[in-house]
Structure 1
Amino acid sequence: MRLIFRNFSLLRSSWATALLLGVLLLVSLQSKAAAQSSAPDTLRVRPNLEELFIEPRFYSILEDPSGQLTLADVQQPVHAAAFERGDKLPTNMEHPGAAYWLRLVVRAEGPLAQHWYFELFDSHLNDIAFFPSAENGRNAVHTGADQPLTSRRFPYKNFLFRLALEPDQTQVFYLRLRSNSKTSFLSRLRTEQMLAVHFQAEYGLLGGFYGILLIMVIYNLCLYVFIGEQTYLRYVVYVLSSSLMFLSEDGLGFQYLWPGYPTLNQMIIAGSPILLLLTFSYYARQFLDAPQRLPHYDQWVRAVVLLSVAALLLDTIWLNSGLGFWLYLLPYGMIYYLAFRIWQRGFRPAGYFLLAHAMVAVSVGFLILRKLGIDTFTNTATVYSMNAAFVVEVVVLSYALGEKIKGIKDLTIRAQEKLVKQLRKKHLAQDRLVEQLKRNQELKDQLNTELESLVALRTEELRRQSDTISAQNRELLQANGLLALQSAAIEKLNTDLQRDLQEAKTARVLSKEVDFGEFSQIYPDKEACLVYLANLKWANTFQCRKCGHEKYCDGREPHSRRCTRCRYVESATAYTLLQKCKFSIIKAFYAVFLVYTHKGNYTSQELSRVLDLRQGTCWSFSQKVTEAMRRRRQAPDYDENEDWTHVLLDATGIVEEEVVGTEERASLSSSNRKVTL
């Protein structure tokens, strides 16, 4: 039994050992497979090849967030094992500002008849270090968009590096890349001959492209100079801004125009798309007549464009979020929708506008895919599709602009033809009017002749009658002499009669027997009373009571006077016995007359009955008149025969009442203040 258990224990230990060995073997195989899968494929160069597109599986990438690693550091086992194949990672730089190490393994199979060159397509990489030898980092080529063009060994718009390949040997090349924006690792290997053919074809096409843009700029600028249509000038500005953006995008501007100014190159790269958005909206709205055809929507488009430009400038200068690319979609989309709406309304050039930007929209789609790291459609045709689309756009828009101007010209011609027809009708009417005027002139001449003959006859008749009248006038003069004497006598009698009548009226008024009805015939209304009082008050001259000035003008109240110097206004009743009178001024006149003529002995009851006023009011007013009469008798210039109207100008009582009132108010205020204390 013990032997059986011993054999069973040996058998169990042998199975455990075998299982452990199997697990170790499986782990080693999986790690070896993983290492093989993480290692990039070797890029093989053969004598019969002239160019190779470097696919992501041919290189491996190491991200260096700190940016401090050197060539020796990345060759250490720790960092060398961290390299990952390009097809296992995103095909673009996900973190702008970080350094990326790119490792490329190249094997030259057989003898090589030509030199091979490594080309990076993105000309906006800020910093590049190419290490032609993996063993020695001192021979590194250091260049980039942040450095002048002289830092490049080959003055080419893209980055070009020569590979020192040895026959039948496998070599490892390292590149250290850094960019401030998301970009891809697209690159290609070319031989000298293929590179020369490529240069010739590429620069020939680009030269034709910029030549077409230059021709369009000159042509439309000449049209603007000769025609004066502002749309042509806006189109020239738009084409120039587009040319600036293409020069910054393909690197030709940095290669030929500003090679020694990398900072300026970075500013143009960042600002040219923003400038293009402004000039495009500036031109498109004018071309589509948006302010006249869709004024409300045009205001929204203009506001969105300005806000987008401000956001793009903010993102470019301060934020650097990398999302500025998406801020272009909304304003461009609104402008395209604006063109579609206007085209629906029957504006034919808007259709050409939409057609011209259809290919541009497709090429922008390819650009968005490249920015997102999707290289499925990336090739020479799609890379340069925007240039071709823009050429088509320039040609179509030029034709559309010509069609628009032609349409305007046709409308102008039709308007001119309509105007010519109207002018012809006007000329016919004028001819008819001239003919009618000629007839009128003939009739007028005939009528004048007849009138002259009639006037001659009438003149002779009048002359005869004049002689008769002259003889009669002489007789009348004699009679007039006698009548003049009689008229003088009659005039003297009338004067005496009027004087006697006035004296009778005055005497009647000065008597005590005049009733209110008779009195009101002399002073019928308030206006007559105020006129009389004003003439009596200012009989001698006017003098301002504040500044003493003697010149005046009429005030707002009837018969008031305003000082022309201090603007003080004095009414006709001010500073008279009738100031602050509470009842009718006619009754006040009559009350003064009654009290004065009765020498102050007229009772308030009788005065209340005659004037139909309260007895208290009549008593107060009679007291005021009595006091005025007393003061008048004491005056030096008092005359016993003077009439009652002199009492009206008494103002002493009014001044005393105002002084007493002021003192009473001051005393009351002082007593209140004491009570409060």
Structure 2
Amino acid sequence: MELARFVDYWQEDTRRALQDVQALPDEAWTASGNESANFGYGTDVYWFRFQVSNVSGAETMSFMEIGYPVLDYIEVYLPGSSGALILGDKQPFYERPIHHRNFVVPLLLPEGETVTVYLRVDTTSSMQVPLTLWNQDAFHASGQARSMLEGIYYGLVLVMVLYNLFVFLAVGERSFLYYVGYITAMPLFLASLHGVGFQYLWPEGTWWNDQSIIVFLNLVILFGGAFSIRFIGVTPENHPWLNRWTVALVMIAGLSAAAGLIVPYRHMILPTILMAAVGCTTMLALSVVRLVKRDPAARYYTVAWVFMLSGGIVLALNKFTFLPRNLLTENATQVGSALGVILLSLALADRLNREKKRAFAAQQNMFREERKARLAQEKSLRVQQEANTMLEQRVQERTRDLESLNEQLLELNAKDPLTGLKNRGHFDKAFQSGVVQAFRFEEVISLLVLDIDHFKSFNDTYGHLVGDDCLKMVASCIQRHVTRPQDLAARYGGEEFVVLLPDTPVEGAAKVAERIRAEIEKTAFRVSGEMLHLTISIGICSVLPARADATKEIFACADEALYEAKGQGRNRVVTNQAKGQAISAAPAV
């Protein structure tokens, strides 16, 4: 039975004892009416009273439930008791007479008697005191139903968190990480608000029970804003004012979340609710604007935020007493967030599918370009065959032309067609010759092995064509620092490059490597309006060869240094000095 229409309340002027309150005239009390008491946020203290008559013909044990779990201090005066029963979220959870997320008090009703119950409530949260009188069996049955619904909600959210976290680890797309943060903060906020967190997660954390509402609600705005900016493309280029506003909102929410760990709840709750209302409105506006701009990602997104943000707005209006406290207003956020989580997961899946299609189209384009290259190569071979036929007819006349053409073909065959550097075949020959010369003249030779950090993830994210542009940019940076005629820069394969520096000690090789690494790190690389920065890892081996055929050992030495550079965190230069000295000291076989 809802007790709202039987409850009277009185606003306390100064601290009163129970006897003084009982002595108040009836005119001092105000009937609550049909709605549960809801006075919003403030510093006032209220007394409540109601009478219960037992007409069942036997002594009855009932339960009185106060269905708002974030009230700070509640003094319950039961008939026949010597003092007040102290409740509230400032008391450890396990000190409650009945372990329930709401405040539940056993109420013994003697046969044929009428008893009066008094409550004194003092809180920094919203002054809401919904009272319900329960039959024990009905209370337990209702609790089972509520627990089942909450289990479905939190189980659904947990599955979505794990799923999107695994997707983020697989594809590296930050939208999924921001979304995981959002759908983690939202249920934690609701768990704090509805007393579930106090019951199961921090039953002794009375201070944190209040502050968690501030922290998690601000984190909802923070991650929700960051996710919105990235997912539906609210960039400084297409929406400069909306982007600045949303970024500012995200930053303020982050600062408020941090402040929630220090500043008391009573000072933070009203600004936080205001921030939530503004954040809800902003996210809804972003979705509508992007939908008008015909952004495909905004379709699911808009519907999802309509559900979630409508629930948040209803909750905020309820806390400010603009809406009554009932089953709909208390659970609007939970229902809306559940529907929103499902729809946003569909939106992310739809975006992943569209990215897959774009990658497939890029791959098809690459295949077409490759086919054109093969046709060009076949045409080149036919030209060469015709030239050979003409040479047979005019051997003496075309000798010089033939030699010139052969030199050009050798140069083409020695180059990597994508980057313009020498290819691996040319490098292998030059490397062998360089080691033989270094052994013969007892000179130090240095080998640099360079690898682009996280190139596979970059290629998977932005496509092979953008990856090719990345390789060209890195090759250009390397070529600018390999300046001596006897030096050699080559593409060894994939995202790996090599630089051969004859007659160069380890200090000189390290300087060249560091200049290459630094320039690539600071070189901006534009992708779809976004400026990216790449890094490389470099391994160095500088040796005085002890054998003329030590190419494998020298390359393995530099490759080992490269893997050490990656193991140390990438974007660095590592010299394998110990291994180089071992190669220099190895006896000739």
Place the TM-score, normalised by the shorter chain, in its bin.
0.5 to 0.7
Residues 347, 328 of structure 1: CA spacing in aligned structure 2 closer, same or farther, 3 A cutoff? same
Alpha-carbon separation, structure 2, partners of 1:112 and 1:156: 27
| 2:156 matches 1:208 | no
| 2:5 matches 1:53 | no
Determine the structure 2 residue equivalent to 1:93.
Answer: 39
Displacement after TM superposition at 1:109 (Å): 1.8
Which of these two proteins has the greater Rg computed from alpha carbons?
1
| 2:319 matches 1:371 | yes
Determine the structure 1 residue equivalent to 2:55.
Answer: 109
Alpha-carbon separation, structure 2, partners of 1:451 and 1:105: 120
Secondary structure of the 2:203 match is coil
Determine the structure 2 residue equivalent to 1:344.
Answer: 292
Matches within 5 A, 1:424-443: 424-443=371-390
Displacement after TM superposition at 1:317 (Å): 2.5
CA contact (8 A) 1:132 1:163 kept: yes
Read off the aligned partner of 2:386 and give its amino acid letter: R
Unaligned runs of 5+ in 1: 1-51, 453-677
The structure where helix makes up a greater share of residues is 1
Determine the structure 2 residue equivalent to 1:306.
Answer: 251
Residues 221, 323 of structure 1: CA spacing in aligned structure 2 closer, same or farther, 3 A cutoff? closer
CA contact (8 A) 1:248 1:254 kept: yes
Alpha-carbon separation, structure 2, partners of 1:113 and 1:356: 52
Matches within 5 A, 1:128-277: 128-133=74-79, 136-138=81-83, 140-277=84-221
Residues 412, 244 of structure 1: CA spacing in aligned structure 2 closer, same or farther, 3 A cutoff? same
Identity of aligned pairs, percent?
23
Length-normalised TM-score, structure 1 = 0.55
C-alpha distance after superposition, 1:48-97 (max 9, x if no partner): xxxx0122x3111111243x21212211246x652222239993235633
Match of 1:330 among 278, 284, 289: 278
Alpha-carbon separation, structure 1, partners of 2:356 and 2:398: 60
Determine the structure 1 residue equivalent to 2:305.
Answer: 357
Alpha-carbon separation, structure 2, partners of 1:404 and 1:205: 30
Residues 426, 112 of structure 1: CA spacing in aligned structure 2 closer, same or farther, 3 A cutoff? farther
Displacement after TM superposition at 1:103 (Å): 0.6
Match of 1:127 among 53, 59, 73: 73
Alpha-carbon separation, structure 1, partners of 2:132 and 2:36: 18
| 2:414 matches 1:414 | no
Alpha-carbon separation, structure 1, partners of 2:319 and 2:230: 32
Displacement after TM superposition at 1:422 (Å): 2.2
Secondary structure of the 1:182 match is coil
Matches within 5 A, 1:255-654: 255-291=199-235, 293-307=238-252, 310=255, 317=263, 320=267, 323-324=270-271, 325-373=273-321, 376=324, 378-444=325-391, 446-449=393-396
Alpha-carbon separation, structure 1, partners of 2:73 and 2:143: 24
Displacement after TM superposition at 1:168 (Å): 2.1
CA contact (8 A) 2:281 2:309 kept: no
Determine the structure 1 residue equivalent to 2:28.
Answer: 82
Secondary structure of the 1:348 match is coil
Alpha-carbon separation, structure 2, partners of 1:396 and 1:95: 34
Alpha-carbon separation, structure 2, partners of 1:374 and 1:340: 26
Residues 399, 259 of structure 1: CA spacing in aligned structure 2 closer, same or farther, 3 A cutoff? same
CA contact (8 A) 1:149 1:254 kept: yes
Alpha-carbon separation, structure 2, partners of 1:451 and 1:241: 79
Aligned alpha-carbon RMSD (Å):
2.6
C-alpha distance after superposition, 1:83-122 (max 9, x if no partner): 2222399932356333211111111222258631111111
CA contact (8 A) 1:312 1:327 kept: no
Alpha-carbon separation, structure 2, partners of 1:405 and 1:200: 39
Alpha-carbon separation, structure 1, partners of 2:36 and 2:157: 37
Alpha-carbon separation, structure 1, partners of 2:29 and 2:398: 125
Displacement after TM superposition at 1:128 (Å): 0.9
Alpha-carbon separation, structure 2, partners of 1:367 and 1:343: 26
Secondary structure of the 1:53 match is coil
CA contact (8 A) 2:54 2:60 kept: no
Aligned residues: 395
Residues 294, 201 of structure 1: CA spacing in aligned structure 2 closer, same or farther, 3 A cutoff? same
CA contact (8 A) 1:91 1:374 kept: no
Read off the aligned partner of 1:85 and give its amino acid letter: A
CA contact (8 A) 2:189 2:213 kept: yes
Unaligned runs of 5+ in 2: 400-589
Alpha-carbon separation, structure 1, partners of 2:120 and 2:155: 37
Read off the aligned partner of 1:223 and give its amino acid letter: V
Bigger shift: 362-371 or 382-391? 362-371
Alpha-carbon separation, structure 1, partners of 2:242 and 2:318: 33
C-alpha distance after superposition, 1:150-205 (max 9, x if no partner): 22111111000111112222110011111102232212111111111111100011
CA contact (8 A) 2:178 2:226 kept: yes
Residues 113, 69 of structure 1: CA spacing in aligned structure 2 closer, same or farther, 3 A cutoff? closer
The structure where strand makes up a greater share of residues is 2
Higher relative contact order (CA 8 A, sep 6+): 2
Residues 165, 359 of structure 1: CA spacing in aligned structure 2 closer, same or farther, 3 A cutoff? same
CA contact (8 A) 2:77 2:117 kept: yes
Residues 136, 87 of structure 1: CA spacing in aligned structure 2 closer, same or farther, 3 A cutoff? same
Residues 83, 152 of structure 1: CA spacing in aligned structure 2 closer, same or farther, 3 A cutoff? same
Alpha-carbon separation, structure 1, partners of 2:165 and 2:306: 26
Displacement after TM superposition at 1:236 (Å): 1.0
C-alpha distance after superposition, 1:388-422 (max 9, x if no partner): 21111111100110101111111221222122222
Residues 297, 359 of structure 1: CA spacing in aligned structure 2 closer, same or farther, 3 A cutoff? closer
CA contact (8 A) 2:277 2:312 kept: no
CA contact (8 A) 2:225 2:249 kept: no
Alpha-carbon separation, structure 2, partners of 1:183 and 1:53: 18
Residues 433, 108 of structure 1: CA spacing in aligned structure 2 closer, same or farther, 3 A cutoff? same
CA contact (8 A) 1:60 1:86 kept: yes
Bigger shift: 402-411 or 423-432? 423-432
Displacement after TM superposition at 1:208 (Å): 0.9
CA contact (8 A) 2:189 2:217 kept: yes
Matches within 5 A, 1:652-667: none
C-alpha distance after superposition, 1:584-624 (max 9, x if no partner): xxxxxxxxxxxxxxxxxxxxxxxxxxxxxxxxxxxxxxxxx
Alpha-carbon separation, structure 1, partners of 2:259 and 2:155: 34
Residues 322, 205 of structure 1: CA spacing in aligned structure 2 closer, same or farther, 3 A cutoff? closer
CA contact (8 A) 1:157 1:250 kept: yes
Read off the aligned partner of 2:276 and give its amino acid letter: Y
Q: Which runs of 4+ in 1 moved over 4 A?
A: 308-316, 449-452
Bigger shift: 83-92 or 103-112? 83-92
Read off the aligned partner of 2:243 and give its amino acid letter: D
Residues 314, 240 of structure 1: CA spacing in aligned structure 2 closer, same or farther, 3 A cutoff? closer
CA contact (8 A) 2:218 2:256 kept: no
Read off the aligned partner of 2:281 and give its amino acid letter: G
